[in-house]
A and B are shown apart, each in its own frame.
Chain A
Amino acid sequence: MKTLGAPWVSAAAALALAALLHPAAGAEGWSGADASRAALALLLLFSLFAAGGPWRWLALAVAAVAGASGYDAVRGHRGLLRLEPGGASQNFEEAGPRGRPLGLRPLGFEVWLQRYEAGHAVLGIGSTGGDAKLVVTPTRAAAWGGFRLGSPRRVRTGEAAALRVSINGPSGTHALDLVPGAAASAGDLQIAVEEYFPDFALDERQRPFTRSNEPRNPAAVLQVKKGERAWRVFVIAAMPGIHRPEGLDRSFSLVSVTPAETIELSVAREPAAPLAAAGLVFAAAAVVSTVSKA
């Protein structure tokens, strides 16, 4: 007990916990980070308590903050909600420790994106709230049904909203806009997008994959039909006209891509957050008391 209450123990535990918590340390990628943090928080707590006197007030404040954040880590929920303009959802994608996806979790209400302008998302709330409306801005979250929705931002999904393809044939060059999921006609051809790669690359087994969701090296596989015959045509923006299908007197080039975007909001249910905040304020007062009573 005497060693546990030694000043160097609490100083070392606080410094080690600080190092593990700081984002610059990159401890999030380490699987043992959460367990180590919990162990160090307990060591700090017991060390401050064992030191006695005014340090016990500080131990109480540390217990409130550590307990509240631990409760929220176990019993709370955090994740992302993705909505298309006009689209609705009753679930969000929950994320566990270190951003590990945990699948869909029900919100308990239906939410739809009425509009998104200048970083502000206007949300409509469904069945439980009637015509209720929530405005979420980059600096102010909104609460509904025990959840807080915040940080609205436009993100790229990795899909394409439209692809512009140029077709070069005996009658000249024509541009055609293709929407994934729908076939378009170009003279006697029916063309559809079979697969899209925003950042095309080949793996070690020469299989195509995409390195990111950003359209840095866009490419696509098109399905081209003429009467009864069909071709699979590969187009890549970096190399126009690379592929001329056998038996078809046309060549195809990918001219440009309009990336598909969605609106993403962070969702969190952290019931112990007020206790953690109160613990921090109490800790400030306890810090002053450690010197005034010393």
Chain B
Amino acid sequence: MTWLAGLAAATMAAGAVAALAAFACSRLARFLESRDAGAEALVAAGALLPLLVLLDRRRVLRWSYGLELASGRLELPGVGRLLGLVLLSTLGGALLLAAARLAGPGPGSRWLDPRVLGRRLLILAVGLGALAAGVLLVESLRLGGGALRAAGAPLVGIVLGAVWLAGASALLLEAPLHAEHSTLAHRARSATAVAAALAVLAAAAVFAESWLGAGSYATAPAAAAVSVALVGLAALPPTRLQSLRTGLLAVMLLSLLLSPPVAR
């Protein structure tokens, strides 16, 4: 790895951290404005579900998970079962919370409160997700370099999804939140700008690396990096869907860092 490639990777990692911080501040600011923890939990579950479905080419739907290594596919059946359970409990929790919202604030059943059951299922999903990530990490470390590289992107996705769901579940449990809306909104704006600036700097580093290394900047890595920088620019304007745009920037930076496009 050349020093420019190292600089680009470090800038992308720092940009992803800043974008994730901006995303968290943005969601919390939104929660302080609406005081609707159920909506936050539904958004988190709604983001985690497609991630789980898309993992390993939708194989989690068949209770299976594996890593594509240079030597061939390596099945990890334990991780597949755990991820299948995460999918089911997240789906169940989200459906129960959505049903409770649709039913309105009236009194629920004496025997079964869908809000409580939905909350418990989401907490179960967080625990199972952490367990799945742990097993995947241990297995990848045991297998070595190639496996760890192959598991990197899904592992980060599962961990981030579980952390987001954990945060939303904490809001459902009415965890104390010592922050003000204006402070969080300001922090979200600043962190978004830092993330976008770092995404643009990372694009400059990848651009220079392509030009000096491959002889041209018309390469797939440079195009991908400039594309992510544009997502950073798109996150800046003060308009609607702020947290969605910031979250997209974080995802794009992480995917560029963990699975960069091949030059040719």
B150 to chain A, nearest CB (A): 18
Does residue A219 face the partner (Cβ distance < 8 Å to B)?
A: no
* Residues A290 and B212 in contact in the complex (CB < 8 Å), given A11-B239, A17-B230, A21-B227: no
Q: Which of A11, A142, A277 contacts B207 (CB 8 A)?
A: A277
Interface of chain B, main secondary structure? helix
* Residues A287 and B196 in contact in the complex (CB < 8 Å), given A150-B215, A268-B215: yes
Binds B, one of A83-91, A162-170, A227-235, A278-286: A278-286
A273 to chain B, nearest CB (A): 5
Q: With CB as the reference atom, state the residue of chain B lying closest to A292.
A: B193
Residues of B within 8 A of A19 (CB): 227
Q: Are A290 and B204 in contact (CB under 8 A)?
A: no
Q: Which of B239-262 contact A (CB under 8 A)?
A: 239-240, 245, 261
* Residues A141 and B197 in contact in the complex (CB < 8 Å), given A18-B227, A21-B223: no
Q: Are B261 and A270 in contact (CB under 8 A)?
A: no
Q: Are B217 and A273 in contact (CB under 8 A)?
A: yes
Q: With CB as the reference atom, state the residue of chain B lying closest to A139.
A: B213
Q: Are B233 and A267 in contact (CB under 8 A)?
A: no
Does residue B134 face the partner (Cβ distance < 8 Å to A)?
A: no
What CA separation (Å) do A11 and B249 show in the bound complex?
A: 12
Does residue A213 face the partner (Cβ distance < 8 Å to B)?
A: no
Residues of B within 8 A of A267 (CB): 215
A-B contact pairs, 21 of them (CB 8 A): A8-B237, A8-B240, A15-B231, A24-B224, A78-B216, A139-B2, A141-B212, A148-B215, A150-B216, A151-B213, A151-B263, A270-B211, A270-B216, A280-B226, A281-B204, A287-B196, A291-B189, A291-B190, A291-B193, A291-B236, A294-B238
Enumerate chain A interface residues (CB-CB to B < 8 A): 6-8, 10-12, 14-15, 17-19, 21-24, 44, 51, 58, 62, 65, 69, 72, 78, 138-142, 148-151, 265-268, 270, 273, 276-277, 280-281, 283-285, 287-288, 290-291, 294
